[in-house]
Amino acid sequence: MSKLAVRVFVVLLVVSALVVACTPPEPEIVEVEVTREVQVEVEVTRVVEVEVEVTPLPTEEPAYYQETAVQNIPLAGFLADRHAEISGMAWYGDYLILMPQYPNFYLEEGTEDNGSLFAIAKADLDAYMNGESFAPLEASLIPFSAPEAFAIEGFEGFESIVFDGDNVYMTIEVAGADGMYANLIAGTIAPDLSGVTMDTATMAKIDSQSGVDNMSDETMFLADGNLVTIHEANGGAVNANPVAHLFSTDLSEVGTVALENVEYRLTDATALDENGSFWAINYFYPGEEVLLPEFDPVVEFYGEGPTHAASAGVERLLEFSYSADGIVMTETAPIMLQLMADGNLRNFEGLVRYGNGFLLATDKYPYTILGFVPLPEVEE
């Protein structure tokens, strides 16, 4: 080999060695297991099978019985005082006579005066109802005399009143030592309204049929020349077989007639019409649980109005038919009164016919109210 060839060979070896020395080694791949602690919030959902009863939404408003609003008539004077506590009303000619439970309510205690009844002229009522006057009605005072009545042991006031010409009849409620009862008394009214005088020497006693406190015969009307008195509580639970008592005008008892069971209270009635029918106030205050029935037959048959559905109280008028065979409800639908918006109940204790409807009066709850209620329009 020539020296030149040797030199070239040596140079190539050196270059090759340099290339190898400068070339980086192949990377070594190593598998490493890395463990890292990580905090993670996990929401766990569990599947649970539940039976759900779905109540469909009503497609229309409930069907309520139509209620009738009471049109209040403004009052002034002693009659506007809630302590007037009206407990009976009746017509005497062209005058509406309103009887306080305690006619001497406005007098000082200890006075010998027996107080007064109230009289409102029908002409004044007509003027207000026809829009000819808007002034509050102020009743005239009729001097009242029944001295022995106030002295009765357990006297709880006068409860019903009826006129037969110039003769006047009343019932008195008494809480006697042996229980509740009523006394029936008679008297006269002066045609010029100068006074009402009761004969308290003669009284007819009417024992309570229910035995319920503060309840006696509080409804009375004339029928076939006799006085008919009706007890206040006639529901099946407190008075299983109620009757109405009949008295002649000399206060002799002449018998009884059967009365259909009526739940809650009967507090006053109109006079009979030419068909022997009358309307009565049917009332319930929720505090009188003893009068609560298992069910209300009137509501079961007719339903109830919206304000009654929202209240435990009852204010309505029912029509009855009177005959020698007894007293029963007619097929005429009841008049359910629209209850007051403030929740107070009106203890109506006076009822008379007036025009195409009725006049009603409360005792002192919630205050003295004289109101008009029209008869429902009858569809032809």
Does position 11 have pLDDT exceeding 90, yes or no?
A: no
- Tokens linked to 182: 């009523």
Please determine, for residue 42, whether its predicted confidence score (pLDDT) is greater than 50: no
**What's the DSSP call for residue 178?**
T
Q: How would residue 9 be classed by pLDDT, with cut points 50, 70 and 90?
A: low
* Lowest mean pLDDT across 24-28, 106-110, 375-379: 24-28
pLDDT score for 178: 94
Q: Is pLDDT above 80 for 53?
A: no
For the cut 70, the answer to whether the pLDDT of residue 25 exceeds it is no
pLDDT in tens, 175-215: 999 999 999 999 999 999 999 999 999 999 999 999 999 99
Residue 182 contacts by C-beta under 8 Å, 6 or more apart in sequence?
159, 171, 172, 173, 174, 205, 206, 208, 216, 217, 218, 229
Residue 55 clears pLDDT 90, i.e. is over it: no
Segment 291-314 shows an average pLDDT of 97
Would you say how long the chain is, in residues? Answer: 380
Q: What is the pLDDT of residue 239?
A: 98
Is 71-372 CATH 2.115.10? yes
Give the DSSP H/E element, type plus range, for residue 346: none
Residue 7: pLDDT band (50, 70, 90) is low
β-strands 167-176, 116-121: how paired?
A: unpaired
Helix (H, G, I), strand (E, B) or coil at 331: coil
Q: Is residue 285 within 8 Å of 362, Cβ to Cβ?
A: no
For the cut 70, the answer to whether the pLDDT of residue 51 exceeds it is no
- Report the alpha-carbon distance of residue 145 to residue 89 in Å, rounded: 18
Q: Name the CA dihedral angle for 120, 124, 130, 132, rounded to a multiple of 10 degrees.
A: -150
Q: pLDDT tens across 125-164, in order?
A: 999 999 999 999 999 999 999 989 999 999 999 999 999 9
